[in-house]
Amino acid sequence: MRHTFAVLVENNPGVLSRVAGLFSRRGFNIESLVVGETEDKTTSRMTIVVEGDERVLEQVSKQLNKQIEVIKVNDITDDESVNRQLALIRVAADQSSRQEILQITEIFRCRIVDIGRKSLIVEATGDEIKIQAIIESLKPFGIQELVRTGKVAMVRGVK
């Protein structure tokens, strides 16, 4: 089972290594981990995607909770939430293929953020399925470089 945890932590140096260390030490599998400051500068939000059975996930959440710098742990897997990843894709593009690539990016509502003589950089955001679909459709043109973030997530609805 794949789960998404939203973890609010103190914005201290070292907190990332503590959390990452916890996962490797206890044998939990991190699929992705994204961390960044929140609206409050003294806290950060980690979005962690973990693979494991129910028992492992319960341990993950409890062990995270035990960390002094962890303020709150939420398993948001089953919540209605907005999930986003970002990908930057450098795709080979010559005169003949440029038009077709532009069409594809339009369909997926991506943006071209850089134009080189022989390539384009496409910026894509979306949930995992969408990012995967974009990558698949750009593949035939030749992907030269690909970077992508892990997932960030936010629960829907009014607080």
Partner 1 sequence: MKNGAEYIIEFLEKKGVEVVFGYPGGQILNFYEYLGRSNLKHILVRHEQAAAHAACGYARVTGRPGVCIATSGPGATNLVTGIADAYLDSIPMIAITGQVKLQDIGKDSFQEADITGITTPITKHSYLIQELSQLPGVLDEAWQVATKGRPGPVLIDVPKDLFLEEQDMAAIHSHLITRKVAREDNTEKMMPLIVERLSQAKRPLILAGGGVISAGAWDALAELVQRTGIPVVNTLMGKGAYPENQPLALGMVGMHGLAPANLALSHCDVLLCLGTRFSDRVTGNRRNFLEKACIIHVDTDAAELQKNVITDFPVHRDLNEFFKILLEDPALVKSEANAQWISRIHQWQKKYKQPTEFSGPLLKPQAVIQAVARMADPDSVVVTDVGQHQMFVAQNYPISSRRGFLTSGGLGTMGFGLPAAMGAAFGRPGAEILLFVGDGGFQMTLQELATIREYRLPIKIFIMNNGNLGMIRQWQGLFFEKHYVASDLPAYPDFIKLAGAYDIPAVRINAPAELDEKVKLALETQGPMLIDCQIEANEYVFPMVPPGGKPGDMIGRWQDETHICCISGE
Interface residues with partner 1 (CB under 8 A) are 8, 10, 13-14, 17-18, 21, 25, 55, 58-59, 62-63, 65-72
Closest distance to partner 1 from the beta carbon of 14 (Å): 7
Select 71 or 86, whichever has its Cβ closest to partner 1.
71
CB 107 within 8 A of CB 136: no
Q: At what angle do helices 128-138 and 95-107 cross, to 10 degrees?
A: 160
- What the block records as the tokens of 108 is 């997926």
45: nearest Cα among 16, 82, 18, 23: 16
Q: Between 58 and 145, whose beta carbon lies closer to partner 1?
A: 58
Q: How far apart are CA 102 and CA 141, in angstroms?
A: 12
Alpha helices in the chain (DSSP H): 15-25, 54-66, 95-107, 128-138
Comparison of 25 and 117: residue with beta carbon closer to partner 1: 25
| Residue 71 vs 88, nearer CB to partner 1 | 71
Least Cβ distance, residue 108 to partner 1 (angstroms): 38
**Rounded least distance, CB 72 to partner 1, Å:** 4
Q: Which is nearer to partner 1, 20 or 92 (CB)?
A: 20
